Chains A and B, each alone.
Chain A
């Protein structure tokens, strides 16, 4: 199994007795309200999903991540974890303060304020997303951020409520699970989509090289037109139930938002799966991409910059169904012309919905059935 990123799994969950003590003091603490998305990332930090981060990053890490894609201690890290505050909020807070972080009026965590610093939204967009186009969902989010950033270690008081908690495992739990299953090598699969046969082909091809597969859909805020979280989860449950050996496949979610940062997010996704115990990570075409912001295979090429990532990327080209081959193939395995190929594209799902019937060449009937019956399958 892989070593956690940075050498140890972070645990910033307050033990119950401390948590109860803090609950009595929280009325005296200054308070910052955070979004639900940020609350889930606070939980992720506290439970080691984002190891080695112990809180929101300081300015030196911020500078290093933007320019070198690394933390200030040289560890690979590509997506900055940021807590933004307004000028007015900043005036009331000073270094070494303990601040209560709340979400939807519930106490979530305490942050010990280490630093307040200014940043450039333009620079953040250009370096992380490679664009300043406000139509990019990541850029749009940055443009809406407040004026300053604060850093500091956090302590989780209480998990933010989630309707998906049944499917959430912590890195400690997955590591124990993989160990119990006797898996020494595990491939991680990131997804935000309902599975088609191309996905299944990639996963099963990867599985031939390792002991087990960890299918880990991202559940959280997504852009318009992406599949709804509940549907992604349901379709994967059905696919695994019908077409996978139970002994070699584990399904659990990662509750965090999609950043659509393409290559940088591919590295981030790989690091997170390394923390879950994965030794390998699948990277397909246009991983974590959106629109035409990133070249098709940029998310694979970026791995060349990280000989020290500690997780082995498995690169896959795009696949199609070949009517002549009678199965899923790619440009390296199929000698037939394009007239025989059925591409796996987002539009095919929409066509399927319009037709009201599944196309067995591209999707398992059980999976298609779920999508067809879903009232509104896409994020609006």
Chain B
């Protein structure tokens, strides 16, 4: 395998917040403050997941509906 590696970057958070998280994650499945912050950020960002582009046009829809009717999926 080549030299390609997983990529990370650093962000800053206030030290008191870091300490608060450190205390909070003791005894949980989180191995570090970083893993906790990553989890929370992913959770928040996922709530904003939206469809970039409509997956099908009106014509696609009509063509597909016809097929679904022929196959007995639609009455």
Partners in one complex: yes
Q: Contact residues of A with B, CB < 8 Å?
A: 3-4, 7-9, 48, 59-60, 63-64, 67-68, 72, 74, 117-120, 123, 166, 169, 171-173, 175-177, 180-181, 250, 304, 306-310
Give the residues from 26 to 59 in chain B that come closer than 8 angstroms, CB to CB, to chain A: 29, 39-40, 42-43, 45-46, 49-53, 55-56
Q: Are A308 and B42 in contact (CB under 8 A)?
A: yes
Q: Could you say which residues of chain B place their CB within 8 Å of the CB of A172?
A: 55-56, 60, 64
Q: Are A7 and B4 in contact (CB under 8 A)?
A: no
Q: Are B1 and A63 in contact (CB under 8 A)?
A: yes
- B29, B49, B60: the one contacting A3 at CB < 8 Å is B49
A-B contact pairs, 26 of them (CB 8 A): A3-B50, A4-B55, A7-B51, A8-B55, A48-B55, A60-B4, A63-B1, A68-B6, A72-B7, A74-B42, A118-B1, A118-B2, A119-B1, A166-B71, A172-B60, A172-B64, A173-B67, A173-B68, A175-B56, A176-B56, A176-B61, A180-B65, A250-B73, A308-B43, A308-B45, A308-B49
Distance between B12 CB and nearest chain A CB, rounded to angstroms: 20
Tally of contact residues, B, Cβ under 8 A: 29
The answer for the CA separation of A7 and B50 in the assembled complex, in Å, is: 6
Q: Could you say which residues of chain B place their CB within 8 Å of the CB of A177?
A: 64, 68, 73-74
Q: Are A304 and B29 in contact (CB under 8 A)?
A: yes
Q: Are A180 and B74 in contact (CB under 8 A)?
A: yes
B5 at the interface (CB under 8 A from A): yes
Q: Could you say which residues of chain A place their CB within 8 Å of the CB of B29?
A: 304
Q: Are A310 and B46 in contact (CB under 8 A)?
A: yes
Q: Could you say which residues of chain B place their CB within 8 Å of the CB of A119?
A: 1
Knowing that A7-B51, A60-B4, A120-B1 are A-B contacts, what are 19 other residue pairs whose CB atoms are under 8 Å apart, sorted by A's residue number?
A3-B50, A4-B55, A8-B53, A59-B1, A63-B4, A67-B6, A166-B71, A169-B73, A173-B67, A175-B56, A176-B64, A177-B64, A177-B73, A180-B68, A181-B74, A304-B29, A307-B42, A307-B46, A309-B46
B6-37: CB near A (< 8 Å → 1, else 0) gives 11000000000000000000000100000000
Q: Are A176 and B65 in contact (CB under 8 A)?
A: yes
Residue of A nearest to B55 (CB): A9
The answer for the CA separation of A308 and B7 in the assembled complex, in Å, is: 19
Residue of A nearest to B7 (CB): A72
Q: Could you say which residues of chain B place their CB within 8 Å of the CB of A181?
A: 74
Q: Could you say which residues of chain B place their CB within 8 Å of the CB of A64?
A: 6
Q: Are A308 and B68 in contact (CB under 8 A)?
A: no
Q: Could you say which residues of chain A place their CB within 8 Å of the CB of B56?
A: 172, 175-176
Q: Could you say which residues of chain B place their CB within 8 Å of the CB of A60?
A: 4
Q: Are B43 and A117 in contact (CB under 8 A)?
A: no
Q: Could you say which residues of chain B place their CB within 8 Å of the CB of A123?
A: 1
Complex A-B, nearest 10 residue pairs according to Cβ-Cβ distance, in ascending order: A308-B46, A307-B43, A308-B42, A7-B52, A9-B55, A8-B52, A176-B64, A3-B51, A8-B53, A173-B64
Residue of A nearest to B68 (CB): A177
The answer for the CA separation of A307 and B38 in the assembled complex, in Å, is: 10
Contacts A172-B56, A176-B65, A250-B73; A4 near B51 (Cβ below 8 A): yes
The answer for the CA separation of A173 and B2 in the assembled complex, in Å, is: 41
The answer for the CA separation of A67 and B11 in the assembled complex, in Å, is: 22
The answer for the CA separation of A64 and B22 in the assembled complex, in Å, is: 26
Distance between B2 CB and nearest chain A CB, rounded to angstroms: 6
Q: Are B4 and A59 in contact (CB under 8 A)?
A: yes
Q: Are B49 and A310 in contact (CB under 8 A)?
A: yes
The answer for the CA separation of A304 and B43 in the assembled complex, in Å, is: 11
Distance between B36 CB and nearest chain A CB, rounded to angstroms: 11
Q: Could you say which residues of chain B place their CB within 8 Å of the CB of A250?
A: 73
